[in-house]
Amino acid sequence: MTTQQTQQSFSVEDVSKHNSEESLWIIVDNNVYDLSSFQNEHPGGKKILKRVAGKDASKMFWKYHSAGILKKYSPKLQIGSIGSAASAPSKAESAPAVQEKKAPVPVVVSTEPKEPFEPFGDIIPFGDPAWYQGYATSYYNESHVALRNEVREWVDSALEPNAGEWDEKKEVPAEIYREMGRRGYLAGALGVHYPTEYTDIRPACVAPEQWDHFHEFILTDEIARAGSGGLVWNLLGGYGIGAPPVIKFATPQVKKRVLPGLLSGDKRICLCITEPDAGSDVANLTTSAAKTEDGKHYIVNGEKKWITNGIWADYFTVAVRTGKEGMNGISLLLIEKTMPGVNVRRMDCSGMWSSGTTYVTFEDVKVPVENLLGKENQGFKVVMTNFNHERLGIIIQANRFSRVCYEESMKYAHKRKTFGKRLVDHPVIRTKLANMAIRIEATHNWLENMIFQTNSMNEQEAMLRLGGAIAGLKAQSTQTFEYCAREAAQIFGGLSYSRGGQGGKIERLYREVRAYAIPGGSEEIMLDLSIRQSLRVHQVLGAKL
Ligand code: HEM
């Protein structure tokens, strides 16, 4: 279908003539769709379309579908609009679809107190963070607003409508990952300053020197809005935890060789810590790295399990044992796919299908000593410095997924009727929505505080002082996610039990809860650490105990 045809204008009478199997047109929200060829492949059946052939089918359409369907199928099926070409936009169109190519204009930020920003998004109460909905904020400035708008436009048009299909295929087109690089999103997702020294790519709407942890928060949060953990981990999972040790601890030569390709999205990386027998218990890992007699290489042997993005990775940031037992014998090595002895196989998991969960084996892999990240036997420290960034990423995603569960439930509760009333008119359903919202907002507000603290401290200080609170917040966010996925599933009923369709996001997210509650420190470990670590810090600060 050409764009010109899409602009064609028809009258209701024109459409009414196309009311048969041979020529089957319908109207949805003032737009005209030719379903003549599509009717045979319509997952909801052919007959149901015949009943609305030649008619305005908006009401029936919105009863059975969510907005993503139109975004996905319009380019193929829409042939025009009713009346003038500039008719009222549909629900799906109201989100801008195509990003205009404009020259990047960095936003210059003033430090004056601000009025609330223009309301943004669907304005469903608690469906987005408060600062999106016209409430005042002291955390965000115009550059955050600009980035939020830019990412949402991309996610709405290019990611969300395809997330379900990609998850089923267990693969996201490589072009999407490269686009993450081209837009400067990968360079901005390292938990450090925007690394202008290793890439010429610049974000379109944020001056690199102004890029902060809130920008990374917004980026991750908006991508998570597509409602697929598999997708977020495909785009940010391996990279967000595998690349920071390289930029912080690799030698200058290795950084110069490796980082440009990683930041542009041409090369991929993953983090290999977990083993078949060592998960949250990092200090007990057994993958060995023995130095050769000439001291120029390590010979690496061992297995790593549940490695996100491993099947596509060019680089592996690997925790190995170079010394004695326990945490003081661990080092981090950058292993490369081109090194003989590196093997990967995809693992079958209950969720996160498009994230490429991998089993990695290292058999006598010869790694030059220059690929050591940090100092020998001090890798545990490198792993620890990674944790705040990794956990904040998990918290951001888990809480947006909770919001997606809530937002989808709220929308569905406004259209589904039972016992003669909309779901939202039943107090029991409103109680479910309220219990979801209060948890999401509490988590989000604590999260914003943690991001603000992270912005205000150097990394060493943040690791020590925020480690406990961030661990506690991780547990809170995954408990909230589990709660919201369950409640949303109950609200959607059978639709959340079958794959795809209106309940598709809920069904998928429900299967993804464990991927958030277990890795990056299980809930049990996080809760315990939140108290232990905070006590340690506050004893130094003079807690009166
Ligand atoms: C532009 C026109 C349409 C497109 C592109 C379309 C596409 C789809 C798709 C992709 C599904 C699979 C479920 C999902 O992913 O949501 C579906 C299901 C369905 N569609 Fe349509 N559809 C269209 C129009 C209609 C109309 C006009 C009706 C009703 C008169 C209808 C009734 C249904 C029903 C009953 C289902 C099954 C829902 C379920 O499994 O719960 N569709 N449609």
The model's pLDDT over 39-57, given as tens digits with 9 standing for 90+, comes to 999 998 998 999 999 999 9
In whole angstroms, give the CA distance from residue 472 to residue 455. Answer: 19
Protein residue with least CA distance to atom 14, ligand 1: 501
**pLDDT-derived band of residue 103, with 50, 70 and 90 as boundaries?**
low
Q: What per-residue confidence (pLDDT) applies to 112? A: 62
48 C-beta closer than 6 A to ligand 1: yes
The pLDDT of residue 7 is above 80:
no
Q: What per-residue confidence (pLDDT) applies to 42? A: 94
62 C-beta closer than 6 A to ligand 1: no
500 C-beta closer than 6 A to ligand 1: yes
Q: What per-residue confidence (pLDDT) applies to 105? A: 66
33 C-beta closer than 6 A to ligand 1: yes
The average confidence (pLDDT) of the chain is 93
What's the gap in Å between 60 CA and the centre of ligand 1? 9
> What is the mean predicted confidence (pLDDT) over 172-183?
98
What's the gap in Å between 65 CA and the centre of ligand 1? 6
The pLDDT of residue 72 is above 50:
yes
Protein residue with least CA distance to atom 19, ligand 1: 44
498 C-beta closer than 6 A to ligand 1: no
What's the gap in Å between 78 CA and the centre of ligand 1? 15
**pLDDT-derived band of residue 86, with 50, 70 and 90 as boundaries?**
very low
61 C-beta closer than 6 A to ligand 1: yes
What's the gap in Å between 495 CA and the centre of ligand 1? 13
57 C-beta closer than 6 A to ligand 1: yes
60 C-beta closer than 6 A to ligand 1: yes
Q: What per-residue confidence (pLDDT) applies to 493? A: 97
CATH says 130-262 is which class?
mainly alpha
Instruction: List, in sequence order, every beta strand (DSSP E) within 369-456.
Output: 372-373, 417-418, 421-422
User: Which of 49, 63, 64, 498 gets mutated to test ligand 1 (max ligand atoms within 8 A of its CB)?
Assistant: 64
Provide the pairing of β-strand 342-346 with 330-336: unpaired
Protein residue with least CA distance to atom 5, ligand 1: 73
> What is the mean predicted confidence (pLDDT) over 445-471?
94
The pLDDT of residue 521 is above 70:
yes
The pLDDT of residue 350 is above 60:
yes
What's the gap in Å between 166 CA and the centre of ligand 1? 19
> What is the mean predicted confidence (pLDDT) over 284-309?
96
The pLDDT of residue 348 is above 50:
yes
> What is the mean predicted confidence (pLDDT) over 457-469?
91
Query: Up-side HSE of residue 60: CA atoms within 13 Å toward CB?
Result: 12
The pLDDT of residue 91 is above 60:
no
> What is the mean predicted confidence (pLDDT) over 130-136?
97
Q: What per-residue confidence (pLDDT) applies to 107? A: 66
63 C-beta closer than 6 A to ligand 1: no
Write phi, then psi, for 181 (nearest 5 degrees). -70, -50
Q: What per-residue confidence (pLDDT) applies to 111? A: 59
Specify whether the CB–CB gap between 147 and 203 falls below 8 A.
yes
Instruction: List, in sequence order, every beta strand (DSSP E) within 296-454.
Output: 297-308, 315-321, 330-336, 342-346, 357-368, 372-373, 417-418, 421-422
What's the gap in Å between 157 CA and the centre of ligand 1? 19
65 C-beta closer than 6 A to ligand 1: yes
Protein residue with least CA distance to atom 27, ligand 1: 61
Q: What per-residue confidence (pLDDT) applies to 97? A: 42
Summarize pLDDT for 213-264 with one digit per residue, the tens: 999 999 999 999 999 999 999 999 999 999 999 999 999 999 999 999 999 9
Write phi, then psi, for 288 (nearest 5 degrees). -100, 150
The pLDDT of residue 391 is above 50:
yes
CATH says 390-541 is which class?
mainly alpha
CATH says 268-377 is which class?
mainly beta
Q: What per-residue confidence (pLDDT) applies to 230? A: 98
pTM for the whole thing? 0.86
What's the gap in Å between 75 CA and the centre of ligand 1? 16
Higher pLDDT, 438 or 69: 438
The pLDDT of residue 148 is above 70:
yes
**pLDDT-derived band of residue 63, with 50, 70 and 90 as boundaries?**
confident
**pLDDT-derived band of residue 5, with 50, 70 and 90 as boundaries?**
very low
- What are the residue boundaries of the structural domains of the chain, listed by start? 3-82, 130-262, 268-377, 390-541
Protein residue with least CA distance to atom 21, ligand 1: 44
Residues constituting the chain: 545
Angle, in degrees to the nearest 10, between helices 523-541 and 459-492:
140
CATH of span 3-82:
3.10.120.10
Task: Calculate what percentage of the chain has a pLDDT beyond 90.
Answer: 86
- Residue 75: enclosing H or E segment and its boundaries? helix 67-77
Chain-centre distance for alpha carbon 414: 27
Lowest-confidence region among 65-79, 93-107, 475-489, 508-522: 93-107
Higher pLDDT, 346 or 281: 346
The pLDDT of residue 279 is above 90:
no
The pLDDT of residue 310 is above 70:
yes
> What is the mean predicted confidence (pLDDT) over 114-121?
91
In whole angstroms, give the CA distance from residue 52 to residue 26. Answer: 7
What's the gap in Å between 43 CA and the centre of ligand 1? 6
